[in-house]
Amino acid sequence: MKAFLRIVAVALLFLIASVAVNSWRTRSLLRKAQTIHLGDPKHQVRAILGKPVCVFSPGLFNRTERWAYGDRYFLCRPSAEFPFVLSAKLRWFGPDDQDMVVAFDRSGRVVKVRIPERE
């Protein structure tokens, strides 16, 4: 029984540390995004912000390549009614509303930077 409690405690500590690091990383990215300017090349954006969480290639409805930066673990607040479910936001077809997004033209230059407002 003691071994089981230790495993649960270690797993819980790991989860808390992971969420804390992710939150710090997101705040740091939002500060760094203020230094991105229109016309900056991809290599400069990567040097400032690092590797994006997701890259969305140009498609039928969006002609720009978009790099999404945001929380790696984005769990929404639980619902107020039973069964109190946590819902996760997935980036299947495009960036999430809370993602910071850098859009590039065909020559690989920044054409738009979207920085979401955080609470």
Supply the DSSP string of 1-14, one letter for each residue.
-HHHHHHHHHHHHH
Per-residue confidence at 65, pLDDT binned at 50, 70, 90? very high
The pLDDT tens digits of the residues spanning 66-112 come to 999 877 655 545 555 665 555 556 666 778 778 889 999 999 999 99
Number of domains within the chain: 1
List, in sequence order, every residue forming a beta bridge with 65; answer none if it has no partner.
104
Q: Which of 78, 77, 69, 71 is nearest to 101 (CA)?
A: 69
Instruction: Provide the domain limits for residue 26.
Output: 2-114
**100 inside domain:** yes
Would you say how long the chain is, in residues?
119
Per-residue confidence at 21, pLDDT binned at 50, 70, 90? low
Three-state SS at 28: helix
Predicted pLDDT of residue 86? 53
**119 inside domain:** no
**41 inside domain:** yes
